[in-house]
Structures are given as structure tokens and as C-alpha cells.
Chains A and B, each alone.
Chain A
Amino acid sequence: LAKTTQPISMDSYEGQEVNITCSHNNIATNDYITWYQQFPSQGPRFIIQGYKTKVTNEVASLFIPADRKSSTLSLPRVSLSDTAVYYCLVGESSGNTGKLIFGQGTTLQVKP
């Protein structure tokens, strides 16, 4: 399983775009990259997943370079309600394991 490294914390202001980068140098060929968001006193919730290039949904964009050794979660025009912990997760290949490694996460603080 690929280990992930993220910044421990980030600060931003309302209306700015926030980019959180995750390093995963040992990513395997079949591994996907997934991001979760966790608010205080709640369990994490799925935000976005990708394999390569770029993925966009109503919440965020995920940029993955060709070598896939890193990925960047992009949150456009953040608001105070985006203050949360963001986890990068790498794994699994086709159904042969249920083991997941979440890592420490990045605490994003959005200021007014």
C-alpha cells in the first residue's frame, strides 16, 4: 500500500482557491487516488476520486500528473464551511485487499 504525505495544516481566506497536494511516491499501477473531507465531530465523507489527469465534480477538482506520484485537490472559492480536515488515500487494486491507509490529513482553516 502506498504511503501518503500531506501538509499538516493550511490557512486560506474566503473566496480563494485552495490547492492541497498529496505525495504518494510508491503508488501502484492499479491504485486510485481518493480524497475525503472531515468536519469536527463527524466521520469523513468522500469528496472525489481519480486515476490520472483531471477529475472534476460539483465540490472539487483533482489533478494527477502523468507520473502519478502526487495529486492535488483543488477547492474553488472556499467558504468558512470548507474548514475541515482533508485526507488523501491511495489504494486499492481490483478487489484483492480491504486494507486502507488514510494518513494524517491536512487541516484547512478558512478565515473571513
Chain B
Amino acid sequence: EAQVTQNPRYLITVTGKKLTVTCSQNMNHEYMSWYRQDPGLGLRQIYYSMNVEVTDKGDVPEGYKVSRKEKRNFPLILESPSPNQTSLYFCASSEIPGQGHQPQHFGDGTRLSIL
């Protein structure tokens, strides 16, 4: 089954304690992306990756890091989490953007609470 898998699904942690949210896709997609979703603000892109070892900033990259060492994995790293990073996070993947938008396949989300 084609899917994007995020782990963990829920996490409560404290300010300053480094954490990583993993994302893995089994569709051999080149493109992967991270979003955060907050009430009243919709979905905002954090980082994206067009292929292995190629990453770039989205609209809200501050406080986040990503890496793309393998095609299937795109972890989101919070080196020193702060309460304003409490949010619902989604990972997505697609074919490489080309002629027209390539439909994104989303994971089920990770709810992070930073105390």
C-alpha cells in the first residue's frame, strides 16, 4: 500500500530537548515536504526536498532542520524546541514538480506539544 509514515504520532516534551520526527514514503517519490498546521493559519510549508541531498526552505523554516540522505526518508529535526513550535505537523511526498502540480501524498500527522 502506498503510504507516507510519520513517527511519532503524538509527543509531549519540554523546551530545549532535541527531538526528531521521522517521515518515510514507499512510493519512490523524489519530492518530500514538511508542513505545520495551526488554527486559523492553515498549512504552512517548513522545508522541502526536490531529491536526495537537495533541501530548501519553505515559508516557516526558523527553528527547524531537515536532512535527505535517502530517497525514502525526510526527518524533521527540532534542535532546541520552544513552545511556539507546538503544532500539528504533516509530511508529504510526490513526484517531482513538473508540468502542473503533482498531487501530494500526506502522512497522518504528528501532534507535538512543547512545554
Interface SS, B side: strand
Offer 24 A-B interface pairs, CB within 8 angstroms, sorted by A. A32-B100, A34-B101, A34-B103, A36-B104, A42-B108, A43-B90, A43-B92, A43-B108, A43-B109, A44-B90, A46-B104, A49-B100, A49-B103, A51-B100, A87-B43, A98-B50, A99-B45, A99-B58, A100-B58, A100-B101, A101-B59, A102-B35, A102-B43, A104-B40
Asked if B84 is at the interface (CB within 8 A of a chain A CB), the reply is no
Task: A94 to B98: give the CA distance in the assembly, Å.
Answer: 5
Could you tell me the dominant secondary structure of chain A's interface residues?
A: loop
Q: Is B103 touching A98 in the complex (CB atoms < 8 A)?
A: no
A45 within 8 Å of B by Cβ? yes
Say whether B108 contacts A87, CB under 8 Å.
no
| Bound CA span A24–B93, Å | 25
Kindly identify which residue among B33, B59, B106 contacts A45, using a CB–CB cutoff of 8 Å.
B106
With A43-B90, A104-B40: A98-B108 Cβ-Cβ less than 8 Å: no
B75 at the interface (CB under 8 A from A): no
Q: Which 3 A-B pairs have the closest CB atoms?
A: A43-B106, A46-B103, A102-B43
Of the four ranges (under 10, 10 to 19, 20 to 34, 35 or more), the interface on chain B belongs to 20 to 34
Partner of B45, one of A45, A95, A101: A101
Is B97 touching A97 in the complex (CB atoms < 8 A)? yes
Interface bits B47-67 vs A (CB < 8 Å: 1, else 0): 011100000101100000000
Interface membership of A15, Cβ < 8 A: no
Tell me, rounded to whole Å, the shortest Cβ–Cβ distance linking A46 to chain B: 4
In the complex, what distance in Å separates the CA atom of A91 from the CA atom of B101? 7
Q: Does B41 contact A (CB under 8 A)?
A: yes
A44-103 contacts to B (CB < 8 Å)? 44-46, 49, 51, 87, 89, 91-92, 94-95, 97-103
